[in-house]
Every structure is written in C-alpha cells, then in structure tokens.
Structure 1
Amino acid sequence: MKAHALGLPAQMGIGFALGAILGLIFQFGGWDISWIKPLGDAFIRLIRMIVVPLVFISLVAGAASMGDLSRLGRISIKIACYYLGTTAIAVGIGLVFANIFHPGMDLNLSTEALQAKEVSPPGIVQTFLNIIPLNPVQALAEGNLLQLIFFAIFFGFALSSMGEAGKPLLNIFQTGNEVMIRITAAVMRLAPYGVCALIAYTVGKSGLQVLLPLIKLIGIMYLAALTHVCIVYFPVLKYVGRISFVSYLKIMTQPLLIAFSTCSSAAALPANMAATEKLGVPREISSFTIPLGTTVNMDGAAIYLGLATVFVAQIYGIDLSFSAQLTVLLIALLASIGSVGVPAAALVVISMVFAQVHLPMEGIALVAGVDRILDMARTTLNVMGDAVGAVVVTKLENENAKR
C-alpha cells in the first residue's frame, strides 16, 4: 500500500510506533532525547492555536442556528446528568480497584522533603461568578473555555433573535467556521510527526528507574480505565447511542491518539468535534457539549482521584474506612463542580479530597515521576467520555423530537 493511501489515523499509528521505538533506543543507549521535544511542543501549540477561535466561532454559529433556548436547556440538563453519573462511577471504580489491588502496599517510597503546592478552592458563589467573563476579550486571550462558552451562547442567541437583520453576520460566522475546519485539517496533517516526537520524548525520559517502583499503580490505573470503558461507554453506546463500539473506535482513533500522546484534552478538542460529527452528532450539539466536556467532564481524572487517595493512604499507613471512602466519592463530585474554570483544577480537586479525609498534601508529589504516564490514560478516557456524552445527548434529543 502506498504511503499516500494511508488514512490519517493509520499514519498517526505508525508515528506512535516509531516514536516508541525511537524513545526506547535513546533510553537504552543512555542518550539525551530532549532535542525532539520542541517538535512535539510545536504541534501542540499549533492545535491550541485553533482551539479558541474554533470553539467561539462554531458555538456562536451553532447557538444562532439552534434558535431555541428551551432546547439548549434540555441539552444542558441531559449532558450534566451524564457527566455527574459517569464521574461518580469513575471515582467508585478507582476506589474499588485500589482496595482490591493495594497499589501502595509494600512500597518503600521516601516521603521526606516532599512539598505540596498550596491551592485555595473557591466558594460556591465564586464558582458560579467565575463562569461569567468580566471581559470576553480577556477570556478569549486566556483560553478560558467555560467563560468562552457562556459568552458565545449569549452572542449566538442574540444574533438569532435579530432574524433577517442578523443573517449577514451569521453568514460570516458560518463561513468562519468552515475556514477554521480547513485550518484544523491542515494542522492535523502534521499529527503523525507531532505524535512521534511526543511519544519518543515520553518513552525516552521515563526510565525504568522511575517506572519500576510504581509499575503496579500504573497497571491498576490502565486496568481501571479499561474497566470504565467496558462497563460504562460500551453499554451506553450500544443501547442508548445505537452505535457499535468498533465503529466508534474507528472514527475516534484520531482524537484518542492525540489525547494519549499530548495529555491534553484541549489539544484533542478540534479532532474530537470533527469525529463526533462523523458519529452523527449535529454541529450545534457537538460545538456545545465537546468544549463543555473538555472543561468539566473528567472521568479519567475521577478514576485517578479515587486510586491516588487510597494509594497515598496506604503509603502513609493510614486506614481509610468505608465512610471515609464514601466521603471521597461525594467530595470528588462536589469538588469537580466547584473547581470549574479554576486554574490547576485537578490539583484543587485532589487537595480538597485529601483535606477532607486528613491525608498529607505532600503525598500528591509521590506519583510526580510517573504522572505523565498516568495522565495519558486519564486524558484519553476524558476525551472518550466527552464524545460518548455527545452521542447520548443527540440520541435522546432525536427521541424527544419524535414525540
């Protein structure tokens, strides 16, 4: 088969494999592979360059085309219920696996000289105020997706309310949306090279001396993520979305590979929006649910949260009772909502949970050496969950329309 006949997902798969081989060669040779990192960083910067304008333009066009505030309300309620439900299951899976496999037992990890970064979680009132941008231009510049979504929806519905008078501007946004799709396609042609560079750097830097002490934790994290896919995403896609999981994976290969190699949901966002549309999700739904999911839906992070809590407790010899672990589940849900739009949200959430169950904050630093490896699973699951949510909402909306 000729090289040009290969699809982009296949090319990315080849880039991934070549990157892993290159990383292993440099690791075993004891050579520095840092020279390749700028190539991967450049790819990430190109993707992040298009995220903000793509989200804003597509969401304005989608909201203006939707023209129905009650429909947006229905979609918001359905996607919020999906996010909360899957997040609760994910935290539970993390806790169950940690209790079964005991990742922190029989480990001699030094806890001396560990320091935890101080974070201050916002109050409930401030959390909701943080959604409203003081300056939409600043929200655009800072890439604050939640504030961007809020302003874009307002802008889109205001544009829709103008009727014929707003059509010229709406046409500009719809044309702009097509332009952003073309720019995205152009950037994605570089994906195989970017993925190769990122994986080569990760494999080359993650030496065995770092991985071996925590290999059990890594294995449990990946097994828990796979379990979540099997007991949540697979049945939901089959029985609600009416899509086979094989078909879903074929279409989602591109965003999932980007998520796995970059550890960035935002970097995978353009490819994820395009993939969900191929799954039958209308653009007005994908342009709302995917950016929102990138900001607030974190199934992978939820699994890690439950797992890391028990892991740190076992390292320090602290016994977490059933009620304490139930508290972890509840606080994780509340903290996930409470940290929306807050910088270093993952750190805020885990700090809130640790404080509630009286675990040393310094324990967060115990997994720092392998966090990149763990984050690859977390981000991939997050992106997968966003797409499944969009498919579910679309199916439920279609059912609602038939009534």
Structure 2
Amino acid sequence: MKNLLSKWNNLSLITRIIIGLCIGAILGIVAPKATAISLLGDLFVGALRAVAPILVFVLVMSSLANSKNNGAKNMRTVVVLYLISTFMGAFVAVVGSFLFPQTLVLTKATQKVTPPSGLAAVLKNLLMNIVANPVTALSEANYIGILAWAIIFGIALKLASTGTKQFLQDASDAVTKAVQWIISCAPFGILGLVFNTVSTNGISVFTKYGSLLALLIGCMFATALIINPLIVFICTHKNPYPLVFKCLKESGLTAFFTRSSAANIPMNMALCESLGLNKDNYSVSIPLGSTINMDGAAVTITVMTLAAAHTMGLSVDFITAFILSILAAISACGASGVAGGSLLLIPLACSLFGIQNDVAMQVVGVGFIIGVIQDSMETALNSSSDALMTATAEYYQRRKAGEDFVLVPKKN
C-alpha cells in the first residue's frame, strides 16, 4: 500500500485527474445507483467555492499592499485582452450561426427566473455588486464586490507598516497553502463529478438538441483553438499552442466539471505560478477575469439569440448581427452579477430583434435543458482564457522590454 501511494503521488496532478475522470465515467455506467460516489464531487466543489472568496480577498489585498508601482501597465493590457477575447467569441458565434443557422422547438421555461429588463439593469446590478457590504460579498461569494473592496483595502494598506504588510503576506501564503491541499484532492473530486454527470444524464441530452449543441461547442472550440491562439501569437510572436493546450489541460479540464469560474480560481492561480508569472499581476487579473472575461458566455448569448431569430423567421443582416456581438460581449461581462449567468441575458439580446419576452424565456428554457453540456463548455473556455490572457499580457510586456522568454517553461 505504501508503494502504491508513493507511485500515485509521483504522478502529475493532470495524470491523476484523468485517471479519476476515467474511473468516474466507468462507475457512472456500471454502477449508476451508487450515488454516494457523487459526494466526492460535492465535497470538492464545496471546498473550492468556500475557500475561493477568502483566497481572492486576501491574495489581491496582500499583492497590492506589497506591490511595487509597476503593475498598472500590465493590468491595462490584461483588461484589453479580456475584452477583445470576449468580443471575438461573440463574433465567432455570429459567423457560425450564419453558416449553420439553427431553429428551436420551443418549450416552456423549465425554471421560474426573472431576466434583466435591459442593459441598464445589467450595469446597475454590476455597480451595486461593486459597492456591496464587504462582509456580505464574502459570505455570498459576490466576486465583483470582493475584488473591488480588496483593491481598495490593498491600495490603502500600501501606506501600512512593514509588520502589517508582512502579516498580510503570511496570511496570503497560509490561504494559498490551504488551497493547494484542496487542489491535491482534485482527482477524487473529478471522479465524483464525472460519476454524477454520467449516471444522471447519460447521453440523452445530445439527441434532441444535437445540432444546437454542436454549433455551441464548435464556436467555443473555434474561439479556444483559433481566435485565442491568434491573439497570443500577435502579442508574443511565438507559437501559441503549447501555452493554449497547457491552459486548456490544467484549467479548462477542471472548470468543465466544476462548472464554476470562481471555483476554478485556485487552479488558475496554481497554473500561473507554474508558468513563472508575476504574482502581483495574476493575483489580481485571475479573479478579475472570472468576472469580465466571458468568451463562452458571449458565444452562448449570441448563438441562442440568433437561433431564436431564425425560429421566428426573422431576417437578420450581418450588420445587425455584428451589433448583437457587441451587445453580447458587453452583457457577458456583467453575467457574473446576474443570477442564472449567461442564459438570463438571452432575453436582453433577443430584444434587439423585437422578440417578445415570453418567446425569449422559452429559449432560456431550452438553454437550461442543454445546460449540462453548454455550461460546462462555457466555463471551461471562460476559465482557461483567464489564465491564457494573463500569461499573454505578461509575455507581451516582456517582448516589448526586449526580454527573452518561453511561453511554457520546462519543469526542473
């Protein structure tokens, strides 16, 4: 047993996760009634979601309090890349929807939900979350509020004594260590999550809405494997795919099963550390990305809205669809501040074409039906892009400074 544990610990985390994934899928097929196995997944995601708000608050505050005055320029680059990536995701969805137009068999919405009444409501929600009580923000995992207050306190604490700054650094290191312990349990958590997905849903979700899912997944893959690598290449002038595949493997894989960008923040932090990135930068940009970098959400909003338009027999010209991609990108950036995420922003986008709210809510209902796959793919793209664009921004600054660098450092 001791030798077996030693061999297990010597395997890389990704290898162990893949083993857990395979075992979970097999158990989901051969023993679907062994529901106790799914508890492993619930515990893992619960632990990540519990520690992530504290991690973000302490890490961002500590990084800003102890940082030198040279990170702002890099942060501007990160934000620009986030916005470009989100817009391009929506644009890819427009092109895909024109090439492969979809129609829906509309059903009643499967959940009682209230969409935002307009873009102003989304922006108001976003601003109110920013000024939320910091204690409430922590308890409710309001990451926009957490990030805003962490930045305010972090900047204020730049004037604190050396001892106070050291305490913040020690607290940051302690929370990071706790997160590493949780991440080491990822193979067992993924096992439980995969078991639950396979035993509960099987493959029936693919049958009724197969072509719609294929378009959604195809647009997300095109964004992940064509558009994002192109952005990386333009910024770094190097082959982007080693970095792209590393981010997909070490961030996208876990995000697919946790279905939460916030819960995947610790995984992205660990990934950025393994890439040798500046902690002062990624400790701020990663939680920021989980709120405004929404490639996958922009794809979902655009594809589902154009599918609704095609179903209603509306003629959509390319200019209007281009405007839709801008609206979808802006809306997607506020998705984290709206209960229900990207699906509840579909009625907002549908209003651009004059589609009535009751019809739009039926489209939301279809979204909930395919949500098992759609939301997993969307989160995988969103979360992996956070790490990818963070790394790209830093490598871009290094290239401009004339420094030599490699996109994926070799392990020692």
TM-score band by shorter chain is: 0.7 to 0.9
The answer to whether the 8 A contact 2:40-2:191 is kept is: no
How many Å separate the matches in 2 of 1:85 and 1:149? Answer: 21
Q: Deviations over 1:147-184 (max 9, x none)?
A: 1112112212222123xxx2111111111111112111
- Confirm whether residue 51 of structure 1 aligns to residue 52 of structure 2: yes
Within a 5 Å distance, the mapping from 1:10-25 to structure 2 comes to 10-25=15-30
Deviation for aligned residue 1:125 = 6.8
The equivalent residue for 2:406 is none
Change (3 A) 1:21 1:317: farther
Spell out the pairing of 1:117-132 with structure 2 (5 A cutoff): 117-120=113-116, 121=118, 122-123=120-121, 126=124, 129-130=127-128, 132=130
* Aligned counterpart, 2:299: 303
Greater displacement, 342-351 / 354-363 = 342-351
CA distance 1:306–1:252, change in 2 (3 Å): closer
Shift of the 294–394 alpha-carbon distance from structure 1 to 2, 3 Å rule, reads same
Structure 2: distance between partners of 1:339 and 1:261: 20
SS in 2 for 1:265: coil
Contact 1:252-1:275 within 8 A present in 2 as well: no
CA separation of 1:14 and 1:369: change in aligned 2, threshold 3 A: same
Q: Distance in 1 between matches of 2:239 and 2:136?
A: 40
Select 1:193's aligned residue among 184, 188, 192. 188
User: Quick check: 1:327 aligned with 2:326?
Assistant: no
Give the counterpart of 2:211 among 213, 216, 224. 216
| Aligned pairs for 1:2-401 within 5 A | 2-26=7-31, 31-32=32-33, 34-68=35-69, 71-104=70-103, 109-111=105-107, 117-120=113-116, 121=118, 122-123=120-121, 126=124, 129-130=127-128, 132-162=130-160, 166-241=161-236, 242=238, 244-250=240-246, 253-338=249-334, 341-359=337-355, 360-361=359-360, 362-399=362-399
Question: How far off is 1:21 after superposition?
Answer: 2.2
- Distance of 2:123 and 2:252 partners within structure 1: 35
Residues 107-138 of structure 1: CA distance to partner in whole angstroms, max 9, x if unpaired? Answer: 6x353576762223544873564254342222
Gaps of 5+ in 1: none
How far, CA to CA, are the matches of 1:130 and 1:79 in structure 2? 24
Tell me the TM-score normalised to structure 2 length.
0.86
TM-superposed CA distance for 1:195, in Å, is 0.5
1:222-244 deviations in Å (ceiling 9; x for gaps): 22222112222223334524465
Do the aligned residues in 2 keep the contact of 1:328 with 1:357 (CA within 8 Å)?
no
User: 1:346-378 CA distances to partner (integer Å, 9 max, x unpaired)?
Assistant: 244222101222232222112322211111111
Deviates more, 1:115-124 or 1:210-219: 115-124
Give 1:257 shift.
Answer: 1.8
**Equivalent-residue separation in structure 1 for 2:109 and 2:240 (angstroms):** 50
Cα–Cα, structure 1 residues 326 and 271, in superposed 2: closer, same or farther, change >3 Å? same
3-state SS, counterpart of residue 107 of structure 2: coil
The structural deviation recorded for 1:34 is 4.2
Unpaired runs of at least 5, structure 2: 404-412
Q: What whole-Å deviation, never above 9, does each CA across 1:190-236 have from its counterpart, x for those lacking one?
A: 11111111112112222444320111222222222221122222233
CA 1:310 to 1:25, structure 2 compared with 1: closer, same or farther past 3 Å?
A: farther
In 1, Cα distance between equivalents of 2:156 and 2:107: 55
Aligned pair count reads 391
Q: 1:19 to 1:103 in 2, by over 3 A?
A: farther
Name the structure 1 match of 2:409.
none
- TM-superposed CA distance for 1:285, in Å, is 0.6
Structure 1 pair 60–402 and aligned structure 2 pair: CA distance change class (3 A)? farther
- Residues 318/205 of structure 1: CA separation in 2 closer, same or farther (3 Å cut): farther
Q: 1:200 to 1:115 in 2, by over 3 A?
A: closer
3-state SS of 1:111 partner: coil
TM-score, length of structure 1 as denominator length: 0.88
Q: Mark the CA change 1:271 to 1:346 in structure 2 (over 3 Å): closer, same or farther.
A: same
CA contact (8 A) 2:20 2:188 kept: yes
What's the offset of the Cα at 1:141? 1.6
Amino acid at match of 1:397: Q
Task: Check conservation: 1:67, 1:161, Cα contact below 8 A.
Answer: no
Partner Cα distance (1:91, 1:252) in 2: 20
Greater CA drift, 35-44 or 269-278: 35-44
